[in-house]
Amino acid sequence: MASVIAGGDSGMRGRLEGRSHAGLMCGLCKAGQALSRPFAAEGSSMRFLIIATAALFAACGRTPAPAPLPAADPGTQRATAQGDVVGFTAENGVKIWRGLPFAAPPVGDLRWRAPRAPAPWSGLREAVAPAAICPQISNVFNADEGHAPGTLLGAEDCLYLDVYAPANADPKATPVMVFIHGGGNVWGSARQYDPSNLAANENVLVVVVQYRLGPLGWFAHEAIRDAAETPEDKAASFALLDLAAALEWVKANAGAFGGDASRVTIFGESAGGHNVAGLLASPRAKGLFHRAIIQSGLFDSVAAAEAENGGGPDINPARAIGERLGARDAAALRAVPLDKLFAVYELDSGGFASMPRMIADGVALPEAGLRAALADAATFNAAPVITGTNRDEMKLFQMVDPRLVNRTFGVFFTAKDAHFYDRLADYQSRLWRIRSVDEPAALMTGAGHAPVYAYRFDWDEGGRFLWTDLKKLLGAAHAIEIPFVMNRFQLLGRLDPVMWTKASAEEREALSRQMGGYWAAFARDGDPNGVPVDGERPEWAPWKRDGALMRLDGASGGGAGMIAGVDSVDRLIADLESEGGLTPAQKKIIADALGLWLPARAADFAAAAG
């Protein structure tokens, strides 16, 4: 599929994949459960989501032919610390280098080890082809790429990044923005994204990074620790170490592409945002970045003992996986073929809970856990932060659930009960905001950290095709903000012509330039308003105790501007208790969904539902 993301954000693809993760929560396992399980009579409901989504997209046309590789442009030759590279120049003048190695291939004995330095090369390395994606299970959105859902894709030799430099990048003076893709930490790749318009419009250097996924990126096992060659080899969150290694590469090489290594911003969406939060707390990332943007990420982690032995909501403890594979020592584990490793991981996954969570291993992430680390000045990697969510996050998931929508001819979707559809989405989307914005912003500002800026993305002007009204079904759903940040309105594959209409084009472009301007000003100055304030956009005030959110919307929705107020779990519970217009069964469904998001308050949600 086409990109900003080619055919659906990493997050969207991840939720619908159906085997290794099956959950579009992009890194947020419980959120995936929250929609699915309250409706399920028995077993996983993902086969329904797969059928619905496949019908929606497969009916829209044939697989496009792959585009030919661009020709190398001698004017893009650069000297990196590893050797000389040559890329190509896009139509908008942006210079692009694909598939640059930032670490040695994590294969063989380097599986489940901290990343090692990449090997140097002699001669000129051509960097015009995308790198291999990291091992992952395909989903329904891979249909456009010729892959049936459930197919094992990728190669372990996948630690590469892409660089996008504006045509007139100032030598060693262009702010650097490092993007971390989403996909539930089990799916996604650099090739899904094209930030060339962001680079061109805002004069920033954009780097898109790949990292180990699924059981290769998140794995806690005693045998692996016992065979460690370095202290970092004792980690479990290997993907975080990959991202730190990529940032080290950026620090060493940004100048070769015109980038300013003293102004590095990390930003990511969904699981990518979750990983940005992890880097804010990772001792391995200290000093490697200077600002952070978290788009629809969460701030949770799991203890290493739970990840290894179970005992909590995880049902994929690493020790049990090793035993099922008949591999108990490190050498045997590292020798397990990929297909067998992922097959066991899938078999034990139970659907939504299969997603690996960030592991507080005491190496890549402090043992106290992510939230505690962010509230502690001793462990927080002090940097200005932007964090935000989309107003209707959960509508992306609900749109493809046949228990909530009617399908006409297998293609056209309408909500079965429009009021319940909206209320279910609202409660879960609010809880997502609470867990991603209100609570972590209070934690970070309460601990006296650098400024925190918060937003809510509200644009909901998707188009309509016969019975399918995307304004109602999707609204301001999960991942919809990505095309606005990257100024490339391609997200939903063959639904894009329905989503991005000519009628909304002028408004979309204006909001996109505002958002790109905020993101880039933050990258330049650590302040989305610019320093000095440029006055081109409404002033964005930092978060305070009483809340301060920038609402990001088009002119038809009131435009961009500050809104006040803090949301909380207690307020959510009170609202559910007084909710009118829903049946007791519907209120119970909402309570069950919220309880899966936040098990510690499940009893309170249930009591509020009556």
pLDDT in tens, 150-185: 789 999 999 999 999 999 888 889 999 999 999 889
Closest among 55, 37, 116 to 468, alpha carbons compared? 55
Query: Which of 10, 36, 189, 270 is flagged as catalytic?
Result: 270
pLDDT of residue 417: 96
Query: Does residue 176 fall inside a structural domain?
Result: yes
Give the number of C-alpha atoms closer than 13 A to the C-alpha of residue 106, restricted to the C-beta side: 29
Burial of 261 per CB tally in 10 Å (0-12, 13-18, 19+): middle
In the three-class reduction of DSSP (H, G, I as helix; E, B as strand; rest coil), residue 465 is classed as: strand
Q: Say whether pLDDT at 528 is over 80.
A: yes
Q: Is 156 a catalytic residue?
A: no
Query: Residue 399 is encoded by which pair of tokens?
Result: 């749109």
Domain that includes residue 160, residue range: 74-374
Query: Residue 196 is encoded by which pair of tokens?
Result: 């060339």
* Bridge partner residues of 377 (DSSP): none
Report residue 145's pLDDT band, with 50, 70 and 90 as the boundaries.
low
* Bridge partner residues of 161 (DSSP): 100, 209
pLDDT in tens, 560-610: 999 998 999 999 999 999 999 999 999 999 999 999 989 999 999 999 999
Q: Say whether pLDDT at 83 is over 80.
A: yes
Query: What 8-state DSSP symbol labels residue 434?
Result: I
pLDDT of residue 209: 99
Query: Residue 413 is encoded by which pair of tokens?
Result: 């979707």
pLDDT of residue 47: 38
Helices 584-597 and 418-433, interaxial angle, to 10°?
A: 20
Mean predicted confidence (pLDDT) in 287-309 = 94
- The larger pLDDT score, comparing residue 317 to residue 50, is at 317
pTM, entire model: 0.90
Report percent pLDDT > 90 for the chain.
71
Query: Which of 221, 290, 449, 478 is flagged as catalytic?
Result: 478
429, 436 Cβ separation under 8 angstroms: no
User: Residues with Cβ < 8 Å from 409, sequence gap 6 or more?
Assistant: none
Query: What 8-state DSSP symbol labels residue 141?
Result: G
Counted residue by residue, the chain has a size of: 610
pLDDT of residue 180: 99
pLDDT of residue 46: 37
Query: Residue 454 is encoded by which pair of tokens?
Result: 């918060």
Query: Residue 166 is encoded by which pair of tokens?
Result: 């504006």
Distance, in Å, from the CA atom of 99 to the CA atom of 209, rounded to the nearest integer, reads: 10
178, 275 Cβ separation under 8 angstroms: no
For residues 524-538, b (16+ Cβ closer than 10 Å) or e, as one string?
bbbbbbbeeeeeebb
Q: Say whether pLDDT at 143 is over 80.
A: no
Query: What 8-state DSSP symbol labels residue 218?
Result: B
- The larger pLDDT score, comparing residue 24 to residue 515, is at 515
pLDDT in tens, 486-500: 999 998 887 899 999
Report residue 467's pLDDT band, with 50, 70 and 90 as the boundaries.
confident
Distance, in Å, from the CA atom of 90 to the CA atom of 426, rounded to the nearest integer, reads: 41
Query: Does residue 552 fall inside a structural domain?
Result: no
Secondary structure (DSSP) of 66-124 = PPPPPPP-GGG-EE-SS-EEE-EE-TTS-EEEEEEESS----GGGTTSPPPPPPP-SSE
pLDDT of residue 57: 42
- Phi, psi (degrees; rounded to nearest 5) at 178: -100, 115
Query: Residue 316 is encoded by which pair of tokens?
Result: 């994929």
Segment (H or E) for 551:
strand 549-552
pLDDT of residue 450: 77
Q: Please state, rounded to an integer, the average pLDDT across all residues of the chain.
A: 86
Radius of gyration of the chain (CA): 23
For residues 483-498, b (16+ Cβ closer than 10 Å) or e, as one string?
bbbbbbbbbbbbbbeb
Report residue 272's pLDDT band, with 50, 70 and 90 as the boundaries.
very high
Query: Residue 321 is encoded by which pair of tokens?
Result: 């996986």
Report residue 20's pLDDT band, with 50, 70 and 90 as the boundaries.
very low
Query: Does residue 394 fall inside a structural domain?
Result: no
How many other C-beta atoms lie within 10 A of the C-beta of residue 594? 29
189, 210 Cβ separation under 8 angstroms: yes
Count: domains in the chain: 1
319, 375 Cβ separation under 8 angstroms: no
pLDDT of residue 439: 96
Query: Does residue 251 fall inside a structural domain?
Result: yes
Mean predicted confidence (pLDDT) in 244-253 = 99
How many other C-beta atoms lie within 10 A of the C-beta of residue 225? 18
Mean predicted confidence (pLDDT) in 392-399 = 93
User: Residues with Cβ < 8 Å from 67, sequence gap 6 or more?
Assistant: none
Query: Which of 17, 393, 461, 481 is flagged as catalytic?
Result: 393
pLDDT of residue 41: 34
For residues 330-347, b (16+ Cβ closer than 10 Å) or e, as one string?
beebbebeeeebbbbbbe
Q: Say whether pLDDT at 438 is over 80.
A: yes
Helices and strands per DSSP (H, E), number in the chain: 23, 22
Q: Say whether pLDDT at 349 is over 70.
A: no
557, 458 Cβ separation under 8 angstroms: yes
pLDDT of residue 194: 97
The region of weakest confidence among 8-17, 223-232, 434-443 is 8-17
Report residue 85's pLDDT band, with 50, 70 and 90 as the boundaries.
very high
User: Residues with Cβ < 8 Å from 343, sequence gap 6 or more?
Assistant: none
Mean predicted confidence (pLDDT) in 108-128 = 98
**Which CATH number characterizes residue 125's domain?**
3.40.50.1820
In the three-class reduction of DSSP (H, G, I as helix; E, B as strand; rest coil), residue 420 is classed as: helix
User: Residues with Cβ < 8 Å from 552, sequence gap 6 or more?
Assistant: 388, 455, 456, 457, 458, 459, 481, 484, 511, 514, 515, 560
Q: Say whether pLDDT at 58 is over 50.
A: no
Report residue 5's pLDDT band, with 50, 70 and 90 as the boundaries.
very low
pLDDT of residue 408: 79
Query: Does residue 168 fall inside a structural domain?
Result: yes
User: Residues with Cβ < 8 Å from 455, sequence gap 6 or more?
Assistant: 386, 387, 388, 540, 549, 550, 551, 552
Evaluate the omega torsion of the peptide bond into residue 532 and state whether it is cis, within 30 degrees of 0: yes
Distance, in Å, from the CA atom of 408 to the CA atom of 520, rounded to the nearest integer, reads: 43
User: Residues with Cβ < 8 Å from 230, sequence gap 6 or more?
Assistant: 113, 114
Within its chain, how far is the Cα of 123 from the centroid?
36
Secondary structure (DSSP) of 261-325 = EEEEEEEEETHHHHHHHHHHH-GGGTTS-SEEEEES-----EEHHHHHH--SS----HHHHHHHT
pLDDT of residue 575: 98
Distance, in Å, from the CA atom of 351 to the CA atom of 23, rounded to the nearest integer, reads: 7
Query: Does residue 310 fall inside a structural domain?
Result: yes
Residue type, 107: V
pLDDT of residue 146: 72
524: left (phi > 0), else alpha (psi -120 to 50), else beta? alpha
Distance, in Å, from the CA atom of 97 to the CA atom of 249, rounded to the nearest integer, reads: 14
Query: Does residue 69 fall inside a structural domain?
Result: no
Q: Is 478 a catalytic residue?
A: yes
pLDDT of residue 140: 59
Query: Does residue 103 fall inside a structural domain?
Result: yes
